[in-house]
Structure 1
Amino acid sequence: MTASATRNTDAVLLVAKAPIPGAAKTRLIPEFGPRAAADLAAAALIDTIRTACTAGPEVIVAMVGDPAHGARHAELADLLHRCTVIGQRGDTFGERLRNAHVDAAALGVDRVLQIGMDTPQVTRRDLKSGLRLLRTGTAVLGPAVDGGWWALGLVGARGADVLPGVPMSTPETRVGTEGALRRDGLVVRPLRTLVDVDRPDDVAVVARLCPPQSAFATAARTLDPYGVSA
């Protein structure tokens, strides 16, 4: 994994976990098993990287785990060669998010729109909208239906220090994040609300929002209990 030589003032920062069976998408494992859950995670990551690469700016992937040991490793390796890949740092998720923003800024990127790998239906338009808002000097937050958020845009990593203090993966995460950013003196602008893939029921919902030929929709069609192709 290598860093690209050219730096941009805008970047999409993708915070991701390697799709290793048994470690990725663990909340899907009771329904689909570890290999199918990892394949869904890999498909979501593939679609998200592809979309991010069409948005124009540099794509930085903050990765935990080695994708060489995960599902669809050859396909992911080809895509990751188009990105700047860095490791995640920190003991908690909030710390890793903060450090990813700090590390992106250290690479010379001014405006960072950070997303995860749970919304493979995200579009080029979504990402470009977030980056345009960042150019006004505001922070950007994309709400998720479950009460979390799917996107966080910061300028110069300002506001990143609040993230370790916000409880993550709860129904109050978005509200807590927005409140902490505002208390830090930032104006926060919203993006549209998306559904992310956290539970088995989310798979079919998100797959129907993806293009039929996408990696995630294709992977989901193999999961009979959810009738994704219906």
Structure 2
Amino acid sequence: MSDLIIFLKTPKPGFVKTRLASTLGPEAACAAYCQLVETVIDHVSELNQVVLCFTPDNAADQIMPWLRSGWALVPQGAGDLGKRLNRAFEAAFNSGKKRVVIIGSDCPDLSAQDIRDAWTALETHELVIGPANDGGYWLIGLSQTQPELFEDMAWSTNQVFLETMKRARKINLRVKVLRELADIDTEIDWSRFLANRKHS
């Protein structure tokens, strides 16, 4: 019983990709966000147990077009990113899931195989994590709730991955680290993504 949860924001100019918006403008940054979400969803569309977990909680209508047959739609609820991640894990485990993986939409190079690898790793590890090149992570997976990994974290900094690993060691979790992927946060990242798409 495995779950993939994709964290999404309503595609509203000024609400998504704020770093990108500072150079591209809010409208173009929002269009870029939509393209990234669609790329990630295309890459995992063959998977069945997928939940689109969105914010704000009244954004279901805006998220609905990304829903695939058999997938579910769930609001993230209130609180910082850590509270929302922990809540999503708790809800999945409470519903009977055994291996739960959460991703966002910032790493368009991820594949369905990455998710399967994460689920497989969770058969023998308590934590699986995919480091991003900006110091964060593009995937986190658990075999049971671990609230300590999410409390009082300095989110959106280049220390998130290292701090998560430090906390995992402190509570003796068996950790599987996946391949590093590039986050799309800046105009340089976005230009590189577009150039790679052109050549692929």
| TM-score, length-scaled by structure 1 | 0.78
1:156 maps to which of 144, 150, 164: 144
Q: Deviations over 1:195-227 (max 9, x none)?
A: 111111111223445xx4xxxxxxxxxxxxxxx
The answer as to whether partners of 1:116 and 1:151 remain within 8 angstroms in 2 is yes
Contact kept, 8 Å, 2:2 with 2:49, in 1: the verdict is: yes
| Alignment correspondent of 1:92 | 80
Structure-2 residue corresponding to 1:60: 51
Structure 1: tracts of 5 or more residues without a match: 1-8, 213-227
Identity of counterpart residues, as a percentage?
Answer: 27
The alpha-carbon deviation at position 23 of structure 1 amounts to 0.8
Residue 125 (structure 2) pairs with residue 137 (structure 1): yes
Residue 186 of structure 1 pairs with residue 173 of structure 2: yes
Distance 2:11 2:65 in 1: 15
| TM-superposed deviation, 1:143 | 0.5
Partner in structure 2 of residue 115 of structure 1: 103
Give runs of aligned pairs for residues 23-62 of structure 1, distance below 5 A. 23-54=15-46, 56-62=47-53
- In the alignment, the residues of structure 2 paired with residue 161 and residue 57 of structure 1 have an alpha-carbon distance, to the nearest angstrom, of 29
Secondary structure at the counterpart of residue 62 of structure 1: strand
Aligned-partner residue type, residue 159 of structure 2: E
The aligned amino acid for 1:51 is: H
Is contact 2:45–2:68 with CA below 8 Å preserved after alignment? no
The number of residue pairs the alignment matches comes to 196
Q: Residues 116-152 of structure 1, C-alpha deviation per residue, up to 9 Å, x if partnerless?
A: 1101121122111111111223310100111111110
SS at match of 1:39: helix
1:11 CA drift (Å): 1.2
Distance 1:206 1:196 in 2: 10
Change (3 A) 1:191 1:17: same
Query: What is the Cα deviation at residue 42 of structure 1?
Result: 1.2
Alignment gaps of 5+ in structure 2: none
Query: 1:57, CA displacement in angstroms?
Result: 4.2
Question: CA offsets, 1:34-77, max 9 Å, x none?
Answer: 111111111111221222232x3400121003164xxxx5xx53
The one-letter code sitting in structure 1 at the alignment partner of 2:36 is A
| TM-score (normalizing by structure 2) | 0.89
Q: RMSD of the alignment, in Å?
A: 1.9
Amino acid at match of 1:178: M
CA contact (8 A) 1:119 1:150 kept: yes
CA distance in 1, matches of 2:87, 2:13: 26
Secondary structure, aligned partner of 1:120:
coil
